[in-house]
Amino acid sequence: MTNTSIPTEISRQVCLARATIERHLDTALLAIHLFGSALDGGLKPHSDIDLLVTVTGRLDEPLRRALMQDLLAVSAPPGSAAPWRPLEVTVVVRRELVPWRYPPRRELQFGEWLRQDLAAGVFEPPGPDHDLAILLTKARQHSLALSGPPAEALFDPVPQRDFSAALRDTVAQWNTEADWEGDERNIILALARVWYSAATGRIAPKDVAAAWLLERLPAEHRPVLSSARAAYLGADEDAGPAGADRIAAFIRFARSGIERLLAAPPGA
C-alpha cells in the first residue's frame, strides 16, 4: 500500500515539525520531503515519521543545536503514551550531494535515540554517512514534497555500485553483541531489508522484507526474524526474539548471506 498524501493520524505532527524546521532554516531551506512507512506500507505501532530536509549551505553550530532542541518538542519516544510518533529528521546540503559522490555527507540527523544526549547538550557533528545512499534512493523512489521540488528533480540517482557499497557498510556495523545489545529488533529487521535490497535492488518496508526473507531462511533462524516482525506489527510486544545466542547466530548468518550477494558479479 502506498499513499500520496499525509496520513490523517500524523498530519498535525507533520505540520508542527514543518513549521519548526521552516522557522529555524528560513531562506536556507530548499525542500522538505516526507518518505518511509508513512507513504509505503502504512505506519506501524513503532514507525518513525521520516523527513528529509534539504538546505542551500552548511549550518552553523548554534543553529544546528537550536533546531535539534526544538524538534524534541514535536517528537515522542517510540511506544510512549503520547499522541505523537518519533520523528527522524535528516538534513543535507544539496551542493554536497549534487553532483553525487560517495560517501555522502550528512549535515544533521535528529532521532529519538538521541533524546538523552540532546537533553544533556551532546550533539552529533556533521560528517560522512553511507546510509544517505539508501535514504536518497528511497526518497527518489517515493516521497511527498511538503515544500520545494520533488526529490527526483532535486537529487541525482545513486549509482548501483554506491547503493551496494552502502548496504555493505551498513551490515559491517554489527560485529559483536555490544553492537546490537538493546536494539536487537531493529537490527534484525534492518538486516532483512538489506538482504532484500541486495537480492532485488529494490527497497521494501521492514515487514515486507522480513516476510520475503522468512520464505528463504533455514528453519533454525526463522523464529528470531518471525518474532521481530510480529513485534514490529504490534503483536507479541512482550515476547522478544529468542535468546542472545540465537540472535547472534541469526545476525552472523544474515551478514554472511548479504556479503556473498554483494560480492557476486552483476547478473551472477
Contact indicator for 133, 154 with CB cutoff of 8 Å: no
The closest alpha carbon to 197, from 128, 265, 261, belongs to: 261
Catalytic residue among 88, 96, 107, 184: 88
The answer to whether residue 88 is catalytic is yes
d(CA 213, CA 208): 9
Q: Identify the three-state secondary structure at position 11.
A: helix
Dihedral of CA 15/18/24/30: which sign?
negative
Distance of CA 201 to the CA centre of its chain: 17
**Closest CA relative to residue 34, chosen from 119, 108, 138:** 138
Q: Which three cell numbers stand for residue 109?
A: 540527523
Cα–Cα distance measured from residue 184 to residue 97, given in angstroms and rounded to the nearest whole number = 32
Q: What is the DSSP string of 89-126?
A: EEEEEGGGTSS--SS-EESEEEEGGGHHHHHTT--PPP
Residues acting as catalytic residues? 88
